[in-house]
Structure 1
Amino acid sequence: MTAATPRPPGWQAEKSQRMRDAVLTATAECLLEVGFAQTTTERIVRAAGVSRGAMTHHFPSRNALLAAAAAQLAGQQVGQFDAVLGDDSAWSEDLLTRERLESQLGQLLECFRSPVALAFDELQQGARAEAELQGQVAPHSRFVAQHMRRRLARRFPAWDEAGQRQQGEALADMMLLTLQGMAREPDIGIAETPLVATLARVVVAEYALAQSRRDRHSGYF
């Protein structure tokens, strides 16, 4: 009789993680392909190529699975957003121009159109009709929104320094909500470029005013 080949340490944990990842990936794919209502555990099992028992070992209920998917998608969306904005230390407000901001807003728009962002959006929209699931998904939604707002705020320090935090937050929200709304509208077409350009122009103009108020308040003039 041939002796069984010993398995390396940690193989069971690695196998378990692969199974979990496959199920979560299949969940995101189903949300994109068939929508929230049709993302059933049966469909996810088939898409992931796993047994129902293996799935329920990791996720005992549909809500548990969708809550875990929300956590993963939220983390992935934040990662994509941060990758577009880059390192804060490399940003100088002296270099803020309409063209530069317009380019970055265009990149953020593509970020909001990514499969990760669209799957997360579908999950958030669907969860609103189910109170228990909504309670599990909402913290991840808040985390993403707050993180994005904070990252944008660090791009424009003059608003805070001039005592205009509320105005800065309103403009950050305007940027985010406009881009998210455009990402959800697949037929926006020719209006897209003027919208992004107008958004950049408004933000740059408002920020120039904040810089001027800050400098006057600081006695630079």
Structure 2
Amino acid sequence: MVATSAKRKTNGDQGPTRQSIKSAQTRARLIDATIRCLVKVGFARTTTPLVAAEAGLSRGAMLHHFENSATLIQATIMELHERRLRAFRRSSETSRHDPTTMIDAYWKQLQKPAFAAFQELAMAARTHDDLAAIMKPLQIEFRERFNSEAIALYPEWHSAPDDFARAMALSQTLMEGMASALMTGALDEAMVPGLLKMLEEKIREMRPDAKRAAVGG
């Protein structure tokens, strides 16, 4: 009996079971399918049967993991937020935190389908009360997590937290607005390099070391 109990305990310590791994993989598959549907047909036409078909699953199999469209959309928004945070961390890996490197990395992220899917949800939430009820608290949670990680990743800005907040807001707002304008044809792609260069120069001017050098000079 002792040996059997010990064996069971060892098996229990081995980590996720095959079934839990399979379940997580299926959930990820459905979320990826939801993102593709949002990009292809928009929020209004992204239905659970369509997502199930896109994922290559039956609707019943999908409902086993997500009981309704609200839970599926909530999980999708959470995944999109996680991808944005991961992209931000990757763009911040260099110790020099050069604006050119960081801006280029985030701009590349904005060209991916995940950004188009997120924008589709954000715009739809403006006039869709149920979606707004899901979106708003997750947006607040994301903003708090993003700000917390940003402060930790950029110690060189600790002496100027207000300037840092403005620099991050300027970068995110400008680049995401540019990406949205490109999708709708409102921005000429030829203007993108020059606009990103202007952003880089502005961020350099706002850095605490640049301000100290200007005062010292």
TM range (shorter): 0.7 to 0.9
Question: In the TM superposition, what is the alpha-carbon distance from 1:25 to its structure 2 partner?
Answer: 1.2
Hey, what's the Cα distance between the residues in 2 that align with 1:158 and 1:122? 35
Alignment CA distance shift 1:211-1:55 (3 Å):
same
Q: Per-residue deviation at 1:123? A: 1.9
Q: Which runs of 5+ in 1 are unaligned?
A: 1-8
- Paired letter, 2:129: A
- Indicate the percent of aligned positions where both proteins have the same amino acid: 24
Q: Which moved more, 1:23-32 or 1:144-153?
A: 144-153
Shift in CA distance, 54/156, structure 1 to aligned 2, threshold 3 Å: closer
1:21–1:205 Cα change, 3 Å: closer
Do the aligned partners of 1:156 and 1:207 also contact (CA within 8 Å) in 2? no
Moved more, 115-124 or 71-80: 115-124
**Which residue is 1:174 aligned to?**
170
Task: Give the number of the structure with larger relative contact order, counting CA–CA contacts within 8 Å between residues 6 or more apart.
Answer: 1
Match of 1:202 in 2: 202
Query: Is the 8 Å Cα contact of residues 91 and 101 (structure 2) preserved in structure 1?
Result: no
Of residues 11, 14, 17 in structure 2, which corresponds to 1:10? Answer: 17
**Partner AA of 1:68 in structure 2:** A
Structure 2 CA distance for partners of 1:209 and 1:76, relative to 1, 3 Å: closer
1:13-56 Cα offsets, whole Å, 9 max, x none, are: 33322322221111011011111111111211110111111111
Give 1:104's aligned residue: 102
Q: What is the rounded CA distance, in whole Å, between the counterparts of 2:28 and 2:150 in structure 1?
A: 31
Matched, 1:59 2:60: no
Contact 1:81–1:108, Cα closer than 8 Å, also in 2: yes
Structure 2 runs not aligned, ≥5 long: 1-15
Distance of 2:17 and 2:150 partners within structure 1: 41
Checking the alignment, whether the CA contact within 8 Å between 1:36 and 1:126 is kept in structure 2 is: yes
Count matched residues: 198
Aligned to 1:33: 40
Residue of structure 2 equivalent to 1:193: 193
**Deviation for aligned residue 1:112:** 1.9
Question: In structure 2, do the counterparts of structure 1 residues 208 and 124 end up closer, same or farther at CA, with 3 Å as the change threshold?
Answer: same
Asked whether the equivalents of residues 182 and 188 of structure 1 are also in contact (C-alpha less than 8 Å), the reply is no
Residues 204 and 210, structure 2, Cα contact 8 Å, conserved in 1: no
Residue in 1 that maps onto 2:161: 165
CA separation of 1:15 and 1:103: change in aligned 2, threshold 3 A: closer
2:118 to 113, 120, 132: 120
SS state of the match for residue 129, structure 1? coil
**Counterparts of 1:152 and 1:184, CA distance in 2:** 24
TM-score (norm 2): 0.77
SS in 1 for 2:202: helix
Question: 1:155: how far off?
Answer: 6.2
